[in-house]
Structure 1
Amino acid sequence: MELPGTPLDWIEPIVGAERTETVRDTLRGVCELLDGRTVWHISDNPVRGGVAELLRANLPCLAGEGISTRWAIIGGPPEFRAFTKSLYYRLCGVAPGAKAADLERGRRMYERICAETAARLVPAMGRRSIVVLHDHQTAGLIPHLREAGCTVLWRVHVGTALREDLAAPGWEFLYRYISSAHCHITSYPGVLPAGPPAVDRRVVQPSIDPLSPKNIPLRPDADPSRLLAGAGLIEEAGGAPRGRHALTDLLVRHPARVVRAGGPAPAGAPLVTQVSRWDRVKDVPGVIRGFAEYVDPAFGAHLMLVGPDTRGDRQAEQVFAECRQAWEDLGPRGRRVHLVQVPTDNRSEHALTVNAVQRHSAVVIQKSLAEGFGLTVSEAAWKGRPVVAAPVGGIREQVEHGTTGLLLSDPRDLRGLGEAVNRLLSDRDYARELGRNGHQRVLRRFLTDSSVLGFARVLADAAQRYQ
């Protein structure tokens, strides 16, 4: 699909005229260097996940400044999705992952889907196109697109593995494809293992869109607590003014699906939240156990694990079942834990619900076992929320320990998780200070203009070096 353009004027009131003009000047230079070449992006889906979110935010900005930009999807049957999910777990170094022999057995199907996708897309691309392939699902396209004469950049969004020994077969599986790329793009240095392939490498840090429904300010038009009460996630505050407004009407059309032992969380209870996909890499069961075992009940805090609706996503349903079992294992202690599936029927509605959850939270957690870049970390910090996060991948770039948030000593440190949450619940002034500092760090480094500028520089280099 060809994307409509969005000129950069919209972000100038947030980041200032100087920053905006720097990006605009760079994009003008890229347009001249491209000399009419189209830039294609190919990913695995147009809706779910951080990659789709990033592309929806960034690509219109590139198109709005004159760069011909298109976005295509690789597609594939359910068995292809299941195979690439197992490969993803392998690359993250998180069990269970496919054995090396299983990966080889899946290679024929993987290559067939990639060949079919290439046959569908190449006629529309032309030999001078620059193609950006996103993540492991699309890596098998690289040899086909090189043969067709395209300049191919492979952008990997996963981070370094929790266990390199588990990840090694996954990278070995990908080497025969990614070694053909002109350039590799990562979210931070050191993602790709040492050794072959000897391909140019660039770093482009992802970003969040400050005016997307997920991040746009809600006040003074809407109170996050009222929105969450309307969605059935917390109790209606006593004495709260009644009446309707547009956002409430929007949110309650598709109520969240919640697994809990009692009713909604009390209106005044501190919320500790993790917003993430239902994905083993996000370690939701670990968050549940860390909260139940080590967060002091005297604070009266409730834990809310928030993710997308799993209906139609077999892998997510399996992980959610594991999370539910971890919750059931708590017994009576589970009364302060809520598993929330936010409907995805309406993308804006889903994003606004997440926005309200994060803004109402006392503490936001991201206890990933591996992570390329934690968008939810920057989302929470942008909203002034203190973050407790695992010291993995790009999160170490996003969070300055003790200044903009708290990093655990180890991603599996449950006691440390509880102690960090206790510290923030007990010292609200410190929590607010971390939130203020986190907001400023996101403003400086992790908004849309920053990642658009970083990618524009990669494009300029590619246009000059790879003809």
Structure 2
Amino acid sequence: MLTPVAVAHKSLADYTHIVGRGLIDEIRELAEPLQGKRIVHLSATAYGGGVAEILHTMIPLMRDVGLDCEWHVIYGQDEFFEATKVMHNALQGNPNDLTDEQWRIWSQYNEMNARELARDWDVCIVHDPQPAAIMSLVREKAAAWVWRCHIDVSTPNPATLERLLPFITGYGASLFHVADYVPPGLNGGVNVVPPAIDPLAPKNMALSRDDATHICRQLGIDVNRPLICQVSRFDPWKDPQGVIDAYRMVKQER
């Protein structure tokens, strides 16, 4: 049921002109003691969203420095993803917690995926809360476990966090984008790993002014006027209201 994700080949050397040879050499030197280590990433989806975008770059680069790295996507049907969407929102502060039935569904699918996970991994990196219970079910299948949280859990729904905490406190390490995102009650093993972009990915490649102007005009945007925009999915947790408020503040000052 766990689905391996195929990724394109990437070479760390391709980034030399961006970060310099010194940093590339440092990364390879740091990776040297880890040559051949078996690492698996577990996530909820292979496409769409920041996690998938990060892993489509990270996995091939980890392989390029000598790690035996795989990425598997967990199995889930609509009922599972409906429950985890509620969890996702609640952990970011939504007052609505999962129902008992939704918690049961979340646990059931974690159990199903845990059974499918192969053994003898050196490190298993679990991304976000969807598969977070897997470690507690099959701890013996990996020598080390890491929970990578990609959302802001600084002001969570207390009931949701209380029920999730026992599953995530058992990880040897947890990773967050910024220190402010760490939830109350998660002590020890917390690491801050700031997010990054792949400058060679198509969405991040530099555009000429002419190309940018052409694209904006196709969308009906007047490039001769000041522009405030937000690049994200349309989601209340991305704070679109904040963008509107920023516009109003600028409008008042002009």
- TM class by shorter-chain length? 0.7 to 0.9
Residue segments in structure 2 that go unaligned for 5+ positions in a row: none
Q: Is 1:193 equivalent to 2:23 in the alignment? A: no
Cα distance in 2, alignment partners of residues 209 and 27 from structure 1: 19
What amino acid is the match of 2:60?
P
Q: What does 1:182-261 align with in structure 2 at a 5 Å threshold? A: 182-195=172-185, 198-219=187-208, 223-229=211-217, 232-234=218-220
Distance 1:193 1:266, change over 3 A: closer
* Deviation at residue 78 of structure 1 after TM alignment: 1.2
**Aligned-partner SS, 1:226:** helix
Residue segments in structure 1 that go unaligned for 5+ positions in a row: 235-264, 291-413, 427-467
What amino acid is the match of 1:70?
E
Matched with 2:15 is 11
Cα distance in 2, alignment partners of residues 144 and 421 from structure 1: 54
Q: Is 1:142 equivalent to 2:135 in the alignment? A: yes
Q: Is 1:85 equivalent to 2:85 in the alignment? A: yes
Cα distance in 1, alignment partners of residues 76 and 251 from structure 2: 42
8 Å CA contact 1:45–1:52 kept in 2: the answer is yes
How many residues end up aligned between the 2 structures?
A: 250
Matched with 1:29 is 33
8 Å CA contact 1:185–1:202 kept in 2: the answer is yes
Matched with 1:293 is none
Matched with 2:107 is 111
Matched with 1:98 is 96
**What TM-score do you get using the length of structure 1 for normalisation?**
0.50
* Deviation at residue 75 of structure 1 after TM alignment: 3.0
Q: Deviations over 1:8-37 (max 9, x none)?
A: 111110111112211121122332xxxx33
Distance 1:111 1:155, change over 3 A: same
* CA RMSD across the alignment: 2.3
What amino acid is the match of 2:117?
L
Q: Is 1:120 equivalent to 2:116 in the alignment? A: yes
Q: Deviations over 1:114-172 (max 9, x none)?
A: 111112223xxx224311000011101111231434421101111244xx3x5222211
Matched with 1:283 is 239
* Deviation at residue 218 of structure 1 after TM alignment: 2.1
8 Å CA contact 2:11–2:64 kept in 1: the answer is yes
What amino acid is the match of 2:10?
T
**Percent identity among equivalent residues?**
26
1:152 to 145, 166, 179: 145
**What TM-score do you get using the length of structure 2 for normalisation?**
0.88
Cα distance in 1, alignment partners of residues 208 and 213 from structure 2: 11
Cα distance in 1, alignment partners of residues 47 and 91 from structure 2: 22
Matched with 2:55 is 55
Distance 1:149 1:39, change over 3 A: closer
* Deviation at residue 65 of structure 1 after TM alignment: 1.2
**Aligned-partner SS, 2:178:** coil
Highest CA radius of gyration, 1 or 2? 1
8 Å CA contact 2:124–2:142 kept in 1: the answer is no
Q: Is 1:68 equivalent to 2:68 in the alignment? A: yes
